[in-house]
Amino acid sequence: MRLSAPSGDAMALAAGPLQHQTTELVRIFSDQATGETFKRSLGTALYVFKLMGALLLRLAVVGVAVVVWVWGLGFQLGYYFRKWIDNTSPTAEEIVCNVLWAIARPFVLLYQWANSFLGWEDPLKQLKQQLNSAPPTESEVPAEAPAIDVQPAGDR
């Protein structure tokens, strides 16, 4: 059994669409303009990848710095809170009040900082001025509230 084709048939197969596509591809790749285009596009792609890598590295460094900062802030606040609890023995009301103030303080400082640039009028200052300008009349003064007996549920 013979596996090879006669020489005339082999030439007919080689001259078919495969040879045409191959020669067209070689012609495109051997063109000098194609080489320059590939060179420019490869250079641009590598430059973009370099910039993306630098950006991702910087974002990772900032992320680590934020985590370390929050971690240190938590330890520092915990230390000062424990020191305050041990030294002053505050009541539960004072603890809640100070914790709420610690949460609200950054917003107050942000408002004050923005106010220094923008010159907003303080709505609380206006309200205080209105309240201080006119003394309350008898109808505005509330009657004394009845005393509320607060006892745990098991003691009644």
| 3-state SS class at 82 | helix
Is 13 a residue whose pLDDT tops 80? no
pLDDT at 69: 94
Cα-Cα-Cα-Cα dihedral sign, residues 93, 94, 97, 98: negative
pLDDT at 81: 86
Of residues 5 and 117, more confidently modeled:
117
Of residues 139 and 113, more confidently modeled:
113
Confidence of residue 25 (pLDDT cuts 50, 70, 90): confident
Residues 99, 77: Cα–Cα separation, whole Å: 11
Of residues 139 and 82, more confidently modeled:
82
Confidence of residue 116 (pLDDT cuts 50, 70, 90): confident
Is 156 a residue whose pLDDT tops 50? no
Residue with tokens 């090879």: 4
Is 72 a residue whose pLDDT tops 90? yes
Of residues 44 and 130, more confidently modeled:
44
The angle at the Cα of 153, spanning 149 to 156, to the nearest 5 degrees, equals: 65
Asked if 63 contacts 69 with a C-beta cutoff of 8 angstroms, the reply is no
Above pLDDT 70, what percent of the chain?
74
Mean pLDDT of 71-82: 90
